[in-house]
Every structure is written in C-alpha cells, then in structure tokens.
C-alpha cells in the first residue's frame, strides 16, 4: 500500500505540482519560510525544454538537459519530493488526490504545464508525434536516424522520398529550431554518414498557419528567421495548415498534398490542469482563469502559474501570457510570495510580467533575439542565445557538457549522439504508443 | 520491400557481423585492402561495454559510451553499414540471411558477441535482469532510482528492506564493479537525495559461486577486491550460487534466503552465434569451434572471433580464451589478415593471444590491475584503469565527456545522471519485457 508518507511538522503545507520552471521558482522562493513544502512531479527530473530540439536532432545527450529534482533543493529543510501523478483537487477538503494517495494541503500551487494540442484531429494524433517530453525527443531522434537507415534498403524512389521527407508544423521557436536543426543534419551529417543516399531527395518542410514565423516576435525577426531557414533549404509554407494525415499522405488546407512518413507537431500546446476545478474556469486551451495575484478565480488557497494560468489583465497580452519559461518563473515567484503574505495576513501582491526577451536559433550558428527593445540577429544573437541558455540550464555538470557539445559541434560539424536507442520498426504510431505507455 | 542494396563493385566481399570490439578491429584491418567490406549490426552504434555499469549507476550518460558506427570508418571506400539482424548462414551458397534479406559473401567474419546466460533457470530469467546492452543499463538505472522513490511511500519495514536490497550475482569484473558502484550510491547519493530513507536498511549483496572474486586474476587481486568491497559495506557471499528467485525471495545453494526485489545477473554469458553451422561445432556456452587461424572448423571462408570463438589450442587457456575485449580485438585483426592472405593465396597466420592485462575498479577511487606481470591496487591502479578506458573509448567527444564526468564526480561525489527515463511500475519483469521487445 503506497502512501505519501509526509511528516506532520506542524507547519502549514504548500504543495507544488510540477517541477518545471514555474514549480521550481515557487519552491525556491519558499526556501527560507516557515512552511512545509512538498513538490509533486511525475518525473524525478526538471527538463530544460528549450533545448529539447537538440536532443531530437542528435546534438545533445538526453541527460544533459535533465536535472534530478533532488539535486536542486538539497539544503532545504522540511522539503519533500514525491514522484506521483496529480489526479484531482478537492478544494473544500484541501486535498489533492494523487497516484500515491491523497495529500492534504494548506496552499496549492499548480504548475503542471502543457502538452501537445492536436485540436481534436484524431488522425493526426495517431500518426504525428509531439515534442514536449524527453522521451518524445529521444523517440524523434531514433525515428529520424532510422529513416536514413531504412532508406538505404529501399529501391522505390517514391518510398525513398517519403521517408526522407520531414514535415514540422508550427512556426513558433520550437518549429523553427527543429526545422533548422533537421536541415543541418541534411547538410552536415547525411553526406558523411550516408554517402550512398540521394541527399537531394531529402526535404524539410515547415508548415505554419499564420502569415509569418515567430509570431510572438517583431516582423523583422520573422523575416530573418524565414531567410535563415530558406538559406538552409527548408521549405517554409505560410498561411496554410495541416488538414489530414494518414502516416503517408499529408493534406494541407490549400489543397496541396505532401508524401511524408513523418509529421512532427509543434503547432499547438494545451494546458494540462489538475481536475476538480469548476469547468467554467477552464479555457478552450485548458488554461485556468486566475486573478491578478495568480490565485485560481474564487480559490484563495490555490494558485495556478505558467502554461496553465490564464489571465488577460495585462492589455499587452489580450489572449493571455505566452507559454514561456519567463512567465512561469515570475508567476512562481509571485505565487510563493503571496502564499507567505496570506499566511502573514498581509495584502497580496499583483503580478506584473516583465518580458526579458525572446529568441530563437536558426540552424547552426544564427539566431534572432529581441531583448530590452533591442532586436538583433545572426552570429551575435546566437552567442546571446547560447549564453542565456547555459545560464538557465540547471547544474554545473550539465552546463559544462552542453557547452562542450556546442563547441565540439561548432568546430567539427559533427553530432555525437547519433544513437538509435530502440530497435524495432521505425513507425511513428508505435513510437507514440510506447511514449504513452510510459 | 527491403533489400540490402549493396553495390556490386567487382571486389571480393567481406561481411562482418557485429560492431563490437572484434568486428571493428576486423574492419579497421581491412581498411586499405581491395575488398568490399560490409558491417552488419542490429544497432547503429558501437557500445563500450566495460563502462556499462557506470550507466546503470547514474554515473555516465548512455550516449557517452555509445559511438555511432557510421562515425568510425568514414573515409573508407567501398565500405557499407547495414542495420540488420543476422539470422542464418548458408556456407554452401555463401549467403547470410538477415532481417533485410540475403547477403552474399566471399568471406564472413562472425563477431556477434555474447548475451546473458541464465543457465536454463526460467524463474530467474523471468525475474532477474542482465547487463549486456545499453537499454538494460538504462533500465537498471531507472529501476534502482525507482526503488528509492518507491521506498519513500512504504510503511512496512519488511517491504522497505526488500526494496532497498540489491543483489548482484557473479564475481567477475562486471559484478564487482556494479556492486561497488551501488554501494557508493548508498554512501554518497542516498543520504543527500533521500534524507528521509533509513540508509542502514539498504543492503548490497554480491553472490559468487566460486571461491574467490575476479577468478581470472591473481589471488592477491581477488583479496584486494574482497577487502575493497567489504570496506564499502558490500556483503560478499562466496562459494554459493543462486538457486531460485521469484522476484521477492532469493534462495541460495547454502539454504539461505534473501528478501530482495532485485537481482542483477552478471553470473554468466552465452555466445550468440549465427545459425546455420553444424551443431557439432557448438559448445555448451554457445561458442563455435575455430582453428588456429580463427576459421570456423571446416569452413575456409567463415571466421569467428571474440566471445563466440572457441579455441583450446593455447595451453594457458584450457577452457578457451576469456570473453574480453582484448581477445576480440586481436582475433579481429588476425582474421582480417588471414582473409587478405587467403585472397592472395598466401599461407595463413596462427593466432597467439597476448594478454595485455586485466583490471577492475572497486568503488569510487580504487582498482586492482595486473599488467605485464605487475600487480597493483589502490589509487594508482585506478588511475591506470581510467587512462586505459579513456584510451579505448571511441571518439574524442565521448572521451572528453566521460573524463569530465569522472573529474566532476571525484570532486563532488555527485552522480549527474540520476534520471528515470521511464515512468510506470518499477517492476523488473516489465523492464525485461520492454528490453526484449526492442
């Protein structure tokens, strides 16, 4: 019989669900407060999602962008981590149901993040793969490398083409970076590893339904990104969305079809809040309505932060804050502070988002960045991108290994992690199933 | 329809099955010969097996001990790699049946290595896990870490004890190194990561049926290894073998039982030769009888090397050569040379094994080593161990990352890769199934 086995220390208990950027920021802020803090996560590690695309494209080892949660908060007293799935919240009883039993809370911080959103298109959900988890990234890596291996064994040109056709949909930073990195594979890895393959048959598509890439950034950055990707040979299709996909034929909204054995879906994410809150608070994208203090509307003791929090108080963000690490980090901090204030009976502090900048890499050594009103691109932006990512990556060992990999790759054009973990058929449906079974 | 798609270059074709130490050595020796060389492997990487135990115990990332096969031989002409399973050899027709169709050969080098040998004990095969592949090592890592996470959730002391009881069987280098590394986890990681757990309840057993550890080495080294492991708190049980195991209760040949939820099996390996050779050539341990030129007995054009080759010509090795990298490397070289000689109509060269030394680590910073008649132990042996392993590890990037991890770990006592890749139940039977399905 499993049970959370949390000690009763007499202190008020804050339960934080999710060890992403938001959850970690909340726990850190609560560090020196007279509270018992419990962090609940399905995994035992914090995942640095901004670099997932480099794992998918054999540039980084999976372990180097994951950091064990138990290594982050070590000196903290009355702090407990439980590896569990949060299932349902009972606000009346202040109980969180989890896969390891009920946990009582005095304050609850929900930071469960988001998952791939297929917008209800079940055919696409079956045949495409998302890129939100470490396992998915490893699967995509195995899948891409397996396509190359398989293509060697084929004679039918149409089949060769469909296997060497990689379609990424969604023109946000993830899609732009992933498409760029796959195009770099074609340029630098394929000719050396697979001299027998007809490189020219390999195609990389990036399909975006909006009128420009990186819609969250300045039009100038969008243009730079488009130019950069085109320079790498990515076929960027704008103003068009994916209509249907059966694992072989991809149909676009403009009537075009593409023969492709792969579709990587970064066209949308959906918040995954814990069940048990009034339906009326949930947005269509799964986000939960919060007030200016990041409390769930009508719930004094429940906070929601990051990807799952919906707030339109800031006129700059009429559709809610972007689902990025910075928002989660800042909301984590304000929620923790407000919990302390609640406990002390002091007035709460309102959340004000400070946008510290946005950036995206384009291929090997270019990037676009917008920081503090400055817009820059090219090599300098790429250096800033590297520095910032190393700064936020957790753990000295990880920083060192990632940095070394980048330097090595920059000099040699090589990708060290071209490892296929799984054998078995390189079939995206099976990959998805195995991800889901985990 | 898959097919090997190998070009007909008019040159004689050498097919090497297996990209381990032996296969790679054979291919390298054939580098500058007028031959077409085809390397067939189930995986797309060469695995540095001597460091597998460090992946199992969260000390190294999996990618750092795997090196993509396609990166090793890049400048080689008329060389082809095919990711496939070898199934059956037809010596008369000179054809190798594989999962991607038949491959014709002029010469065949079988270097398929070995797998865990459970000696027909099906209960153990069901409930124990071997440590021969990268996936198994990752699974063991997840499994060990999961045991710690699960134990936090238990109240029953007997259940806690059985989850914190790790039994390794087999007192060769793998067993000694693995038991030492798990004991180091207890000493350096558990108290920091799981201050709530009763560390004293964690037990590490090493069960060896022979009268001493490291039977392939000098008795002095065996004694040093035993002392070293005892110093780390490993309970070493000698002269006793595992009789039965149901996933919970482990029965030993001396009548003792141990309550343990895990059994890691490094007590035996079994050669896995390709089917199709006369049964009479196969030893009980799966090895194939070869002559002094490393040709399979009675087969001029088929060579067997490394773990799958059986030869008792050398009186020092009356039971056949040890299943270690050095034998495979040297036999790979001699087989390749003999293929060239055969092709040139010159007399063949006989194999003479040069034992370059044996070594094994014991825990964090000790080792025993026997090199060129010298026996040494302690820190100096550990330094030699590190140097040699870095030397043989393939790829500059891997050397650098492994070296950095070792330095980092030496200074901080930390293990960076404490990542549980898979969620789901930490159940060793399920782990085994998922390994086998891959």
Looking at beta carbons, which pairs linking B120-127 to residues 24 or more positions away fall under 8 Å?
A: B121/B244, B123/B244, B123/B245, B123/B246, B124/B242, B124/B244, B124/B245, B124/B263, B124/B265, B126/B247, B126/B429, B126/B432, B127/B245, B127/B246, B127/B247, B127/B263, B127/B428, B127/B429
Name, in order, each residue with C-beta under 8 angstroms of A425's C-beta and a sequence gap of 6 or more.
Answer: none
Task: Report which of A59, A42, A176, A170 is spatially closest to residue A118, judged by C-alpha positions.
Answer: A170
Distance from C-alpha of A364 to C-alpha of A177, rounded to nearest angstrom: 10
Closest chain B residue to A58, measured at CA: B63
**Residue numbers of chain B with a pLDDT score lower than 50:** 424-426, 435-438
* CB within 8 Å of chain B, chain A residues 399-418: 400-401, 404-405, 408, 414, 416-418
Chain A residues within 8 A of B418 when measuring between CB atoms: 44-45, 68, 70-71
Q: How is residue B50 written in tokens? A: 């001597």
Percent of chain A with pLDDT over 70: 96
pLDDT at A423 over 60: no
Is residue B269 within 8 A of residue B283, CB to CB? The reply is: no
A177 tagged catalytic: yes
Predicted pLDDT at B14: 98
How far A40 CA lies from chain B's nearest CA (Å)?
A: 12
Interface of B with A in 29-48 (CB under 8 A): 42-45
Query: Residue A194: what pLDDT?
Result: 94
Residue B182 C-alpha, separation from nearest chain A C-alpha, in angstroms: 18
Residue A189 has pLDDT above 80, yes or no: yes
- Provide CB contacts within 8 A for A407, sequence distance 6+: none
Q: Do A80 and B196 touch (CB under 8 A)?
A: yes
**Considering CB atoms only, which of A61, A397, A437 is closest to B408?**
A397
Tokens linked to B31? 């580098």
A121 CA: distance to closest CA in chain B (Å): 27
User: pLDDT tens digits for B52-88?
Assistant: 999 999 999 999 999 999 999 887 899 999 999 999 9
SS3 assignment, position B213: coil
Distance CA A169, CA A164 (A): 16
pLDDT in tens, A322-350: 999 999 999 999 999 999 999 999 999 99
Model ipTM value:
0.91
Residue A350 phi, psi (nearest 5): -85, 150
pLDDT digits (tens, 9 = 90+) for A5-58: 999 999 999 999 999 999 999 999 999 899 999 999 999 999 999 999 999 999
Question: Measured between CB atoms, does B100 come within 8 Å of chain A?
Answer: yes
Region A123-265+357-437: CATH code = 3.50.50.100
pLDDT at A329: 97
pLDDT, tens digit, 9 for 90 and up, residues A232-276: 999 999 999 999 999 999 999 999 999 999 999 999 999 998 999
From the list A44, A241, A321, the residue with the least C-alpha distance to B147 is A44
pLDDT attached to residue A435: 46
Listed by start position, the domains of chain B span 13-42+84-116+270-344, 122-267+357-437
Q: Tell whether the model's pLDDT for residue A420 goes beyond 80.
A: yes
The two structure tokens encoding residue A339: 């919990």
Q: What is the pLDDT of residue B59?
A: 93
DSSP-derived 3-state class of residue B217: coil
Give the Cα separation of A175 and A168 in Å (integer): 6
| Catalytic hit among A61, A177, A184, A370 | A177
pTM for the structure as a whole: 0.93
Q: Which candidate from B68, B153, B196 shows the least CB-CB separation from A419?
A: B68
> CATH topology of B13-42+84-116+270-344 equal to that of B122-267+357-437?
yes
Give pLDDT, residue B27. Answer: 98
Cβ <8 Å between B401 and A404? yes
Q: Judge whether B429 and B435 are in contact, CB under 8 Å.
A: no
Residues in B touching A83 (Cβ below 8 Å): 149, 420
Determine the Cα–Cα distance for residues A412 and A423; give it in Å rounded to an integer.
28
b/e per residue, A332-358, with b = 16+ CB within 10 A? bbbbbbbbbebbeeeebbebebebeeb
Q: Cβ of A5 under 8 Å from any chain B Cβ?
A: yes
Enumerate the residues of chain A whose CB falls inside 8 A of the CB of residue B149: 44, 83
Looking at residue B431, its pLDDT comes to 52
Contacts of B80 in chain A (CB under 8 A): 196
- What's chain A's Rg over C-alpha atoms? 22
- CATH topology for A13-42+84-116+270-344 is FAD/NAD(P)-binding domain (3.50.50)
Residue of chain A with shortest Cα separation from B403:
A401
Q: Is the CB of residue B421 less than 8 Å from the CB of residue A134?
A: yes
Which architecture does CATH list for B122-267+357-437?
A: 3-Layer(bba) Sandwich (3.50)
pLDDT value for B290: 98
Count contacts between A and B (CB, < 8 Å).
Answer: 155
Across chain A, mean pLDDT equals: 93
* The pLDDT value given to residue B429: 59
What is the distance between the alpha carbons of residues A353 and B202, in angstroms, rounded to a whole number? 48
What residue has token string 């072989």?
A248
Residue with tokens 């932060």: A305
Q: Per-residue confidence at A425, pLDDT binned at 50, 70, 90?
A: very low
């Amino acid at each position: 019989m499993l049970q959370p086995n949390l000690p009763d220390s007499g202190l008020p208990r804050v339960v934080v669900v999710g060890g992403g950027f938001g959850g970690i920021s909340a726990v850190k802020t609560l560090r020196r407060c007279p509270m018992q803090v419990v962090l609940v996560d399905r995994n035992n590690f914090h995942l640095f999602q901004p670099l997932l695309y480099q794992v998918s494209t054999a540039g980084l080892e999976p372990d180097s962008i994951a950091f064990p949660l138990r290594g982050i908060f070590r000196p903290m007293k009355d702090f407990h981590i439980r590896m569990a799935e949060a299932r349902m919240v009972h606000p009346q009883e202040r109980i969180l149901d989890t896969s390891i039993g009920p946990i009582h809370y005095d304050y609850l911080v929900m930071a469960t993040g988001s998952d791939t959103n297929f917008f209800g298109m079940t055919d696409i959900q079956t045949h495409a793969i998302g890129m939100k988890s470490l396992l998915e990234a490893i699967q995509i890596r195995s899948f891409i490398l397996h396509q190359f291996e398989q293509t060697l064994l084929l004679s039918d040109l149409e089949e060769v083409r469909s296997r060497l056709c990689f379609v990424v949909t969604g023109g946000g930073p993830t899609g732009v970076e992933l498409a760029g990195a796959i195009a770099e594979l074609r340029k630098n890895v394929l000719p050396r590893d697979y001299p027998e393959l007809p490189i020219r048959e390999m195609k990389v598509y990036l399909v975006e339904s909006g009128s420009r890439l990186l819609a969250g950034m300045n039009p100038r950055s969008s243009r730079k990104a488009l130019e950069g990707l085109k320079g790498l040979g990515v076929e960027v299709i704008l103003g068009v969305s994916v209509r249907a996909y059966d694992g072989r034929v991809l149909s676009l909204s403009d009537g075009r079809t593409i023969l492709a054995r792969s579709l990587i879906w970064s066209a949308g994410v959906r918040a995954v809040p814990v069940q048990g809150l009034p339906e009326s608070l949930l947005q269509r994208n799964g986000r939960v309505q919060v007030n200016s203090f990041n409390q769930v509307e009508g719930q004094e003791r429940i906070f929601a932060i990051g990807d799952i929090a919906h707030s339109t108080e800031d006129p700059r963000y009429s559709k809610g804050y972007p689902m990025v690490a910075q928002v989660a980090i800042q909301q984590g901090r304000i929620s923790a502070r407000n919990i302390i204030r609640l406990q002390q009976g002091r007035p709460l502090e309102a959340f004000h988002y400070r946008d510290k900048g946005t950036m995206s890499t384009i291929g090997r050594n270019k990037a676009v960045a917008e920081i503090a009103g400055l817009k820059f691109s090219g090599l300098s932006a790429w250096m800033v991108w590297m520095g910032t990512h190393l700064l936020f990556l957790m753990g000295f060992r990880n920083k060192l290994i990632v940095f070394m990999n980048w330097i090595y790759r920059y000099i040699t054009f090589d990708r060290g992690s071209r490892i296929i973990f799984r054998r078995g058929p390189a079939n995206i449906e099976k990959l998805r199933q195995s991800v889901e079974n985990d």
